[in-house]
Chain A
Amino acid sequence: MEELSPTAFLISSSIKVFAVFSAAMLIVAYMTLLERRVSAFIQDRLGPNRVGPFGLLQPIADGLKNILKEETLPATANRTFFILGPMLSLIPALVTFAVIPFAAPLPTPWGVVDMIVADIPIGILYVLAFASLGVYGIFLGGWASNNKYAFLGAVRSSSQMVSYEVALGLSLIPVLMLAGNVTLTDIVWQQQLMGFWFVFPLSLAFILFVISAFAETNRLPFDLPEAESELVTGYHTEYSSMKFSMFFIAEYSHILMASALMATLFLGGWSIPFWNGANAYYHDGAWIQGFTAAGEPIPAQLAWWKTLLTLLAFAVKTGFFVLVFVWVRWTLPRFRYDQVMHLGWKVMLPTALGYLMLIAATILVLDQLAVEGFLFGFVLTVVSLLCTLGFVFFLDRDRIISGASVPPHRLTPSPVTRAESETLSPEMAARALGEQ
Chain B
Amino acid sequence: MAATVKVMRRPEPGKTSYLRAALKGMGLTFKHMVNTEKVTLQYPEEQPDLSSRWRGTHRMEVHADGRPKCVACGLCPTVCPANCIRLVGGEDDNGNRYPIVYEIDEFRCIFCGMCQEVCPVEAIHVGVHFENGEYTRDRFVYDLDRLMEQDHAVTHLWDPSDPRSE
- Pair A397/B17 contact, Cβ less than 8 Å: yes
**What are the residues of chain B within 8 A of A46 when measuring CB–CB?**
38, 40, 42
A398 and B33 in contact, given A44-B38, A46-B42 (Cβ under 8 angstroms):
no
Measured CB to CB, the closest approach of chain A to B38, in angstroms, equals 5
**What are the residues of chain A within 8 A of B35 when measuring CB–CB?**
41, 44
Q: How many A-B residue pairs have CB under 8 A?
A: 65
- Pair A331/B12 contact, Cβ less than 8 Å: no
Chain A proximity mask over B61-74: 1 for CB below 8 Å, otherwise 0? 00000000000000
- Pair A408/B38 contact, Cβ less than 8 Å: no
In the complex, whether A369 has a CB less than 8 A from a CB of chain B is: no
**What are the residues of chain B within 8 A of A40 when measuring CB–CB?**
40
Chain A proximity mask over B18-44: 1 for CB below 8 Å, otherwise 0? 111010011011101111011110100
Q: What total of chain B residues lie within 8 Å of the partner, measured CB to CB?
A: 26
Measured CB to CB, the closest approach of chain A to B121, in angstroms, equals 46
**What are the residues of chain A within 8 A of B10 when measuring CB–CB?**
403, 406, 411
In the complex, whether A70 has a CB less than 8 A from a CB of chain B is: no
**What are the residues of chain A within 8 A of B38 when measuring CB–CB?**
41, 44-46
A396 and B25 in contact, given A43-B32, A44-B37, A406-B10 (Cβ under 8 angstroms):
no
- Pair B40/A45 contact, Cβ less than 8 Å: yes
- Pair A396/B12 contact, Cβ less than 8 Å: no
A332 and B20 in contact, given A44-B37, A44-B39, A411-B10 (Cβ under 8 angstroms):
no
- Pair B39/A331 contact, Cβ less than 8 Å: no
Chain A residue at minimal CB-CB distance from B42: A46
Chain B residue at minimal CB-CB distance from A402: B13
In the complex, whether B137 has a CB less than 8 A from a CB of chain A is: no
Measured CB to CB, the closest approach of chain A to B91, in angstroms, equals 55
- Pair B26/A328 contact, Cβ less than 8 Å: yes
Q: How large is the interface on A (under 10, 10 to 19, 20 to 34, 35 or more residues)?
A: 20 to 34
In the complex, whether B160 has a CB less than 8 A from a CB of chain A is: no
A411 and B19 in contact, given A42-B32, A44-B39, A330-B29 (Cβ under 8 angstroms):
no
- Bound complex: CA of A38 vs CA of B15, how far in Å? 33
Measured CB to CB, the closest approach of chain B to A389, in angstroms, equals 12
- Pair A331/B13 contact, Cβ less than 8 Å: no
Measured CB to CB, the closest approach of chain B to A23, in angstroms, equals 26
Chain A residue at minimal CB-CB distance from B41: A46
**What are the residues of chain B within 8 A of A403 when measuring CB–CB?**
10
**What are the residues of chain A within 8 A of B33 when measuring CB–CB?**
38, 41-42, 327
The 8 Å CB contact of A408, one of B13, B19, B34, B37, is B13
**What are the residues of chain A within 8 A of B15 when measuring CB–CB?**
397-398
Measured CB to CB, the closest approach of chain A to B63, in angstroms, equals 44
- Pair A411/B13 contact, Cβ less than 8 Å: yes
In the complex, whether B14 has a CB less than 8 A from a CB of chain A is: yes
**What are the residues of chain A within 8 A of B18 when measuring CB–CB?**
395-396, 398, 400-401
- Bound complex: CA of A398 vs CA of B15, how far in Å? 7
- Pair B42/A396 contact, Cβ less than 8 Å: no
In the complex, whether A392 has a CB less than 8 A from a CB of chain B is: yes
In the complex, whether B16 has a CB less than 8 A from a CB of chain A is: yes
In the complex, whether A399 has a CB less than 8 A from a CB of chain B is: yes
- Pair A398/B14 contact, Cβ less than 8 Å: yes
The 13 listed contacts between A and B (C-beta, < 8 Å) are A40-B40, A41-B33, A41-B34, A41-B38, A43-B32, A44-B38, A45-B38, A327-B33, A331-B25, A331-B26, A331-B28, A396-B20, A398-B13
Top 4 A-B pairs, shortest CB-CB distance: A408-B13, A46-B40, A396-B19, A398-B16
